[in-house]
Chain A
Amino acid sequence: MQARLSDKVQIQPAYLGKATIHVDAGLNRDVVRILLENDGNVGISAITGLDMGEKIGVMYHMRTDGLIVTVRTEVPKENPQIASITDLIPGANFHEREVADLFGIVFQGHPNPARLVLPDDWPANLYPLRKDAKLEEVTANVENCASCSAQHEPVQLQPQSEGKLVNIVVGPQHPALLEPEKFQIKVDGETVNDVEPRIGYVHRGVEKASEQRTYLQDVYLVERICGICNSCHAACFVETVEKIMSVEVPARAKYIRTIILELNRLHSHLLLLGHAGLEIGYETLFQYMWRDREPIMDLTEMLTGNRVISSAMTVGGVRRDLSETDVPKIKTRLEALMKKMDFYQKLYDSEPSFRMRTRKVGVLSKEDALRLCVVGPVARASGVNMDVRKDDPYEAYGEIPFKVITRTEGDTFARLQVRLDEITESINIIDYAVDHLPSGPYRIKVPRVVTAGEAVNRVEAPRGELFYYVKSNGTAYPERVKVRTPTFANIPAFIKTAIGGSIADVPANFVSLDPCFSCTDR
């Protein structure tokens, strides 16, 4: 690459924990293209905007072979223009729109540069994540924003037609949605023609808020991005900070973190599989799954003191040790769950109405999964072998044997089946981890002030790859925290799989992607 782009490119291997390529503003497309030519499996993990005073940094975090390659470029603040890469990688679409909203960068050539996160009547020159955006101004705008108030535009209940197409607006307030988000579904008869998502209804400004809190406070803030995968957020954040500080956590802490993360995955998967049952009208399955999820919640409470938001992670280790007496309790509970899994597998294999509703519904091909850069069980159900735990091992995953579950069908059934199999794998991981728990301290003391530096980190959350970028300026407060949640990366998959399908399949299809709007928005 150095040869082809001569001196305009600086490559810094092993920086940011991975590799970084510095390029001039005009060359970002070329670098991305070369990366794509080298490896067809390259995907984009995130695009980070960074206020650098006079300039705005734009970082494209590309994933390739278990590595994150960061393509880094800068644009002047007065005229923040950069060429869009959405035509090269369709998966960059929503990443670019988000950065455009929050940093005011114009992505030239973007197919649909409409607002994604901010309200429609947000002032044109106020970009919340820029450092010069006044906090009072942002809050005042949120409070006065007409489209955020309850009086604005009565909910359009009657479908509007547009020629042959009927426009169905689902949300932001809709009885079938558990959280607020808007989907404009264009329907031709019973067939879905197009889906236009509009997110940001539960945007809480976590990225901005974390800049005003200390690193330690941020651990508890990022946990609240998503109630379900809370431990993953906390773990990903503390790992990033530890990377910046070059802290090596004790081996025992790594194992305990692994156990908590896997418990988190178990509870998330069971919750989703039960919820999927509810969406297709299989109430019995829902009740069974959620009953079997209870012991996992109890285990989480036993280990961390909390049922849901575990607050177990801290910079330098975990906050509680795992006592010897807990081990047999963990083992018996998991053994009982393992027996139940056989029953569910039998149900998945033979229940006709369940299979009729989920098989060949919302098919996502492997090529599309790669092009749209989807992550987690959704990608694995389409035959993409990607799992951060294997590709880029963190915590104790490098030492624990486990399989990455993939399937080739790519339909709703496969996405649920992948999660069902992952539950079994998770149980085995926890089993192995408690058997091989190293002795020693479970946390080390680290200074409150973080050395200047930056790092990216990934964690395999239950819903897929979770990405964090943290930049430290040498104080107790981070300069920038970027969070890219797996649900955000999976929105394109929903659009792709819904189009061409029946409108009655939308709920089943949607739920198989494990939607979570509060973490999509952050």
Chain B
Amino acid sequence: MLDFLLIFRVLVFPGFTFILFFTLFCDWVERKIEARMQNRVGPAVAGPAGILQPLADFIKLLTKEEIIPRDAKKNIFRIAPIIAFSVMVFAICFLPIDGSSAISMSGFTGDLIFIMALVTVANFFLFMSGWASSNPYGGIGAARVLTQFLGYDIPLFLLALTPAFLAGSLTISAIAASQYLPFILLAPWGFVLFIIALQAELEKDPFDIPHAESEVVGGLETEYCGGKLAFLHLTRDVQIVLGAALVVELFLGGPYGPVFFGLPAFWYSLWFVLKVLAVVIVTEYVTCLFARLRIDQVLTANWRMLLPLSVLSLALTVAMATYVYPMVV
């Protein structure tokens, strides 16, 4: 009986199926917002207001011919996008969505670190997929993913420690549950910096170096087509959901919010979805506002600005939590 529930939770809700469709939905929101900000219509044909467009694109790509370049490292080329996608989804399964996460009810000690590590692994597989295509643009794009990721991993992790410190726990569900006051109010500096680092992590403007089409054409996706390209696109979208979900869990009080009637799980899921959408809208808004920086400017911004600032942010949080908040709260 318990096994059946677990399978349902992992495969249907709040696990794989939910994440998949939520990702496609977020993709639609993103495209729609970007289009509206740029004075375009955006997806409008498939479904009401084009809501089915991401799904249609996904299915269309799946039906396309699969071409593997002669020089590509074939096995890695084939499986790397799928592994990257799976790892991302796996990471989301540890986030409390309807009050508890898909895999284990209350997480385990230190699963914050585990999830951050999964993100690193997934990015590494994205790098592998570009590198295995044996195309200079794919290679450069992949190397850029890694360069950028190495730069932003450390600040991102330091910033993730800010809420962990406030909550006194490295368990995500504990961090989310301890936010009677969302940490965005207690440590707004940490939130702002986290969004900036996330923007780089998600390879969005002004940090979308790996996708600079005027320099590296399609980046790591250059040689991909068909189903594998579909999975690469999906990986990118899941990555955005994962990033946004992390912000929600760490700074916006997780899935918790007022429960009006009926099942708390329903309300928690609703709050989660709404909060993630809010974060997605913010990141998309930032994307539309900026031009792409040059790779050296990105790395300088990271090492000279973001890293010291995130250390400062952590120090400030520690000071505030030790001396100021106990008197106020």
Q: Specify the main secondary structure of chain A where it touches its partner.
A: helix
The digit string for A265-296, where 1 denotes a CB below 8 A from any CB of B, is: 00000000000011111111101100100000
Given A281-B208, A283-B38, A287-B38, also A353-B136 (CB < 8 A) = no
Let me know if B291 and A354 touch, CB within 8 A.
yes
Apart from A176-B214, A285-B291, A353-B293, list 12 A-B contacts with CB within 8 A: A157-B135, A175-B137, A281-B205, A281-B214, A281-B292, A351-B290, A353-B291, A354-B290, A357-B291, A357-B294, A504-B215, A505-B294
Kindly state whether residue B65 has any CB partner on chain A within 8 Å: no
Let me know if A282 and B37 touch, CB within 8 A.
no
Return chain A residues, CB-CB under 8 Å to B137: 175
Let me know if B38 and A280 touch, CB within 8 A.
no
In the complex, which residues 38-62 of chain B have their Cβ closer than 8 Å to any Cβ of chain A? 38-40
Let me know if A351 and B136 touch, CB within 8 A.
no
Kindly state whether residue A502 has any CB partner on chain B within 8 Å: yes
When the two chains form the complex, which single residue of A176, A190, A280, A287 contacts B291, counting CB atoms closer than 8 Å? Answer: A280
> What are 18 sample pairs from A and B whose C-beta atoms fall under 8 A apart?
A175-B218, A176-B214, A176-B215, A277-B291, A281-B212, A281-B214, A283-B34, A285-B291, A287-B40, A353-B206, A353-B291, A356-B294, A357-B297, A502-B296, A504-B215, A504-B294, A505-B294, A507-B214
Closest Cβ neighbor of A177 among chain B residues:
B214
Q: Specify the main secondary structure of chain B where it touches its partner.
A: loop
Q: Shortest beta-carbon distance, A302 to chain B, in Å?
A: 22
Q: Shortest beta-carbon distance, A273 to chain B, in Å?
A: 13
Q: Which of A281, A282, A357 has the most CB of B within 10 A?
A: A281
Given A176-B214, A287-B39, A507-B215, also A357-B292 (CB < 8 A) = yes
Q: Complex: how many Å from CA A158 to CA B71? A: 12
Let me know if A353 and B292 touch, CB within 8 A.
yes
Closest Cβ neighbor of A504 among chain B residues:
B294
Let me know if A288 and B39 touch, CB within 8 A.
yes
The digit string for B212-253, where 1 denotes a CB below 8 A from any CB of A, is: 111101100000000000000000000000000000000000
Q: Complex: how many Å from CA A284 to CA B297? A: 21
Given A157-B136, A158-B136, also A175-B217 (CB < 8 A) = yes
In the complex, which residues 289-321 of chain A have their Cβ closer than 8 Å to any Cβ of chain B? 291
Kindly state whether residue B295 has any CB partner on chain A within 8 Å: yes
Q: Complex: how many Å from CA A190 to CA B208? A: 19
Q: Complex: how many Å from CA A284 to CA B38? A: 5
Let me know if B136 and A159 touch, CB within 8 A.
yes
Q: Shortest beta-carbon distance, B77 to chain A, in Å?
A: 17
Q: Shortest beta-carbon distance, A9 to chain B, in Å?
A: 51
Let me know if B295 and A504 touch, CB within 8 A.
yes
Return chain A residues, CB-CB under 8 Å to B295: 504
Q: Complex: how many Å from CA A353 to CA B37? A: 18
Return chain A residues, CB-CB under 8 Å to B291: 277, 280-282, 285, 351, 353-354, 356-357
Closest Cβ neighbor of A507 among chain B residues:
B214
Q: Complex: how many Å from CA A278 to CA B40? A: 16
Let me know if A280 and B292 touch, CB within 8 A.
yes
Let me know if A284 and B289 touch, CB within 8 A.
yes
Let me know if B288 and A284 touch, CB within 8 A.
yes
Let me know if A279 and B293 touch, CB within 8 A.
no
Closest Cβ neighbor of A357 among chain B residues:
B291
Closest Cβ neighbor of A358 among chain B residues:
B291
Return chain B residues, CB-CB under 8 Å to A280: 214, 291-292
Return chain B residues, CB-CB under 8 Å to A291: 39
